[in-house]
Structure 1
């Protein structure tokens, strides 16, 4: 009988509020997965007043402030940072976050957000959280 001690990664997922008919929806609640496995956090968006929304993933590690993890401003952009990646899929209106092999240090709260590329409101997206 194997006595493998698996580290667990706890990921909190929050749904962000709707603003001016634009919104993002992501899986809600807490997800616990084993270290070394694939993490996928779904995020779909609805942009009724923004023609070309910018999409963001923010991360908040325990005891720390909010940090920008990924930002995509053009449809079909594939962006990556620290092993995380997401593709801005305009057809599917999605911006799913993935990491091939998660570590215990990835335990955090992850937020999906959208903003207006014209106004470049990255700060605005952060404030809405």
Structure 2
């Protein structure tokens, strides 16, 4: 069965930006998934992946707040790589039809001031 993943870009308006794999991805069930996320900022941000399943609102999938943190949830994982300004989302186990969703990569301005708030709103 082919799976469809719609990937969109979420970016901030203060000069910080997030760029991720664009467009719709169609994968056969049983393969692995990688969604690239790179960011530009002058801060040391907290990084987040949100997921929005059909008919639901966005919800936090995973987060990382410092260099080399690895977030993981529901078989998905992402590692905060400050040196390459990346936070790529991966699912190494087989993707299933239930993984069909919109995935958003996001960042906060600063860890100390906004990391908690970023978990509650997109």
Pairwise same-fold verdict (TM > 0.5): yes
Runs (5+) with no aligned partner, structure 2: none
Counterpart for residue 69 of structure 2: 77
Counterpart for residue 105 of structure 1: 98
Runs (5+) with no aligned partner, structure 1: 1-6
Q: Report which of the two has the higher share of helix.
A: 2
Contact 1:57 1:70 in 2 (8 A): yes
Counterpart for residue 36 of structure 1: 30
Corresponding residue SS for 2:82: coil
Corresponding residue SS for 2:66: coil
Q: CA deviation at 1:125?
A: 6.9
1:1-129 matches, cutoff 5 A: 7-48=1-42, 50=43, 52-100=44-92, 101-115=94-108, 116-124=110-118, 127=121, 129=122
Farther-moved stretch of structure 1 (98-107 vs 11-20): 11-20
Q: CA deviation at 1:121?
A: 3.5
Report the CA distance shift for 1:31/1:126 in structure 2 as closer, same or farther (over 3 A). Answer: farther
1:70-97 deviation digits (Å, cap 9, x = unpaired): 1000101111101000000000000000
Q: TM-score, normalising length from structure 1? A: 0.86
C-alpha RMSD of the superposition: 1.5
Q: CA deviation at 1:123?
A: 3.0
1:17-48 deviation digits (Å, cap 9, x = unpaired): 34211110001110000111010000000112
Aligned length: 120
For the residues of structure 2 that align with 1:122 and 1:96, how far apart are their CA atoms? Answer: 21
